[in-house]
Amino acid sequence: MRVSILIQISIFFPDLMDFKENRRGSPDYTIYLCFGEKLPDGRPLERKLITVKVVPLICREFHERAQMEGASSLCNENISLQISHNSLFDLLNSLGPPSVA
């Protein structure tokens, strides 16, 4: 049985420190296991026969603690916030303020 692992956990902790200091966005700590095929091979994970997504709880805990200490992906200068669909904005504006009964 062939098992391929795409793991980038070794760069998680330096990326987490940069995240805590608001020098980068949120680090990725997801591990993907692929059974029966090479990984990566240029094909998206969704096109693989058997793929398992693993999220190490210790990494999630460290990430959540960094967020509780004030780290945020919104501090990244590459973030662009915008309304995704204008018709939703128009619909909300057309409803007006809520009435008090």
Domain that includes residue 91, residue range:
3-95
8 close to 16: Cβ distance less than 8 angstroms: no
76 is a domain residue: yes
Phi, psi of 5 (to 5 degrees): -125, 125
Residue 78: which CATH number? 2.60.200.10
| Number of domains the chain is built from | 1
- Alpha-carbon torsion angle 34, 37, 43, 44, nearest 10: -20
Share of the chain above pLDDT 90, in %: 9
pLDDT, tens only, 81-98: 455 555 666 666 677 676
Mean residue pLDDT across the chain:
75
pLDDT, tens only, 53-75: 888 888 899 999 998 888 876 65
Q: Which amino acid is at 64?
A: E
100 is a domain residue: no
25 is a domain residue: yes
pLDDT, tens only, 5-52: 554 667 888 899 999 988 888 888 888 888 888 877 888 888 888 888
Phi, psi of 97 (to 5 degrees): -70, 150
